């Protein structure tokens, strides 16, 4: 029977073997090593000649159950989990040896990693405006890996994935979409032509602020390349973290829909606030890609709101964050609680200030990750903090 996303995530992990019955809550199999009746059996598993588990760095039943679910959600053949989102990005970047064609306003850690690979390994790194398909077609070459974000972090630009995929494929490149901010609730990039999908499990998919992890979904061939990296780099997601992610995923659709609804209400309120200079949110009619977001995300717009204070200065942003009481001044996104981030201090600290400003991350810009609290309480907290700016 075909099940919709909400049913899939609620039933997550129940394929784990459990003797005569299947538990409602999937078991946590914490063991590092696995015993076999003969060395020949163990050798066959090590050699990928038969399924099984031999050592925690090579795979565990609990993490494999999570990978099976994530591949299903992303509608791609295989998924590989990692100990963090950045280890997933690193494995993907190094699995491809061609040029890296990267969205210019991507997450700061992704851009910093690309720069390190350029400086240390001589990688060909090219930054592009992802809303310009001609720029992507010019930058992409056969064997290149194009990396874009479905909703960019933190400027909330919306990428037309089908358009990007068409331009990149025409040039013989592979397309990877980081769907962390979108989640499978808003879109499945593979439906729009993406070859690879990335998520930081740390964010919405786990959703409770207590797990770090990452995942790359793609082809069987990519899985083999990533398996080699996850084993030799020691970056495989441990079973306890995987079990917590399965638990978190059960409420994914409920959480994300609530966060999208609250974020839209908060964005509309802040757009008319006298202490706010501008609001970036795809659900507002003045967002440059509002129509695209409406089509691509089926009426949802994400749980993150970008705000530039009217007094567009660093000390104003710091005063605002320090005055928050309900919302946390925290450096992550996608949790059940509201969090506000200041990019120059955290996510984009390594990016040159002039480049931050060129992209739109001015000194008075903050990113609000909306939680599942009552939106009226969030708005009251933001209003009170804005009073001191």
- The residue from 157, 188, 203, 280 that is catalytic is 203
The answer to whether 78 is a known catalytic residue is no
Helices and strands of the chain, counted as H and E runs = 15, 12
The answer to whether 107 is a known catalytic residue is yes
- The residue from 8, 57, 257, 349 that is catalytic is 57
Q: Kind of pairing, strands 365-369 and 339-341?
A: antiparallel
- The residue from 74, 178, 195, 335 that is catalytic is 178
At residue 357, what are phi and psi to the nearest 5 degrees? -65, -40
Q: How far is CA 125 from CA 88, 137, 149, 257, in A?
A: 18, 15, 16, 36
The answer to whether 247 is a known catalytic residue is no
Buried-state track 114-146, b at ≥16 Cβ within 10 A, e below 16: beebeeeeebebbbbebbebebbbebbeeebbb
The answer to whether 57 is a known catalytic residue is yes
Partners of residue 366 on adjacent β-strands:
307
Report the alpha-carbon distance of residue 131 to residue 135 in Å, rounded: 9
Buried-state track 31-46, b at ≥16 Cβ within 10 A, e below 16: eeebeeeeeeebebbe
How much is the CA Rg of the chain, to the nearest whole Å?
Answer: 21
**H/E run at residue 369:** strand 365-369
Report the alpha-carbon distance of residue 238 to residue 236 in Å, rounded: 6
* Burial grade of 271 (CB within 10 A; 0-12, 13-18, 19 or more): middle
Q: How far is CA 369 from CA 181, 266, 289, 328, 378, in A?
A: 10, 11, 20, 10, 11
Backbone torsion region of residue 148, taken as left when φ is above 0, otherwise alpha when ψ lies between -120 and 50, otherwise beta: beta
- The residue from 74, 105, 107, 356 that is catalytic is 107
Contact 68, 193 (CB under 8 A): no
Partners of residue 316 on adjacent β-strands:
none
Report the alpha-carbon distance of residue 137 to residue 146 in Å, rounded: 10
Contact 348, 359 (CB under 8 A): no
Name which of 157, 152, 140, 161 is nearest 180 in CA terms.
Answer: 152
Cite the active site residues.
57, 107, 178, 203
């Amino acid at each position: 029977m075909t099940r919709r996303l909400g049913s899939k995530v609620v039933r997550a992990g129940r394929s784990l073997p459990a003797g005569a019955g299947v538990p409602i809550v999937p078991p946590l199999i914490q063991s590092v090593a696995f015993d076999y009746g003969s060395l020949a059996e163990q050798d066959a598993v090590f050699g990928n000649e038969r399924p099984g588990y031999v050592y925690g760095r090579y795979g565990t039943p609990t993490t494999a159950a999570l990978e099976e679910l994530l591949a299903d959600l992303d509608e791609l053949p295989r998924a590989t989990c990692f100990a963090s989102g950045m280890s997933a990005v690193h494995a993907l970047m190094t699995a491809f040896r061609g040029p890296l064609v990267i969205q210019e306003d991507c997450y700061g850690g992704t851009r910093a990693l690309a720069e390190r690979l350029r400086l240390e390994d001589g990688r060909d790194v090219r930054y592009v405006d992802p809303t310009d398909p001609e720029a992507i077609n010019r930058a992409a070459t056969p064997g290149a890996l194009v990396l874009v974000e479905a909703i960019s972090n933190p400027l909330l630009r919306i990428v037309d994935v089908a358009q990007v995929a068409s331009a990149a494929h025409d040039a013989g490149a592979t397309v990877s979409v980081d769907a962390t901010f979108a989640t499978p609730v808003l879109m499945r990039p593979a439906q729009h032509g993406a070859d690879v999908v990335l998520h930081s499990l740390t964010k919405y998919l786990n959703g409770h602020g207590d797990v770090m992890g990452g995942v790359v979904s793609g082809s069987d061939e990519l899985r083999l390349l990533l398996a080699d990296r996850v084993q030799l780099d020691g970056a495989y997601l441990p079973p306890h973290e995987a079990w917590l992610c399965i638990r978190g995923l059960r409420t994914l659709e409920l959480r994300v829909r609530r966060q999208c609804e609250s974020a839209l209400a908060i964005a509309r309120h802040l757009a008319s606030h006298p202490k706010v200079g501008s609001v970036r949110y795809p659900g507002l009619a003045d967002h440059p890609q509002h129509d695209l977001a409406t089509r691509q995300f089926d009426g949802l717009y994400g749980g993150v709101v970008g705000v530039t204070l009217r007094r567009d200065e660093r000390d104003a942003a710091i005063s605002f964050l320090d005055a928050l009481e309900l919302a946390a001044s925290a450096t992550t996104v996608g949790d059940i609680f509201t969090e506000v981030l200041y990019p120059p201090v955290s996510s984009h600290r390594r990016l040159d200030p002039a480049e931050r400003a060129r992209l739109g991350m001015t000194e008075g810009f903050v990113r609000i990750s909306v939680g599942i609290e009552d939106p009226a309480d969030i708005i009251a907290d933001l209003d009170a903090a804005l009073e001191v700016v």
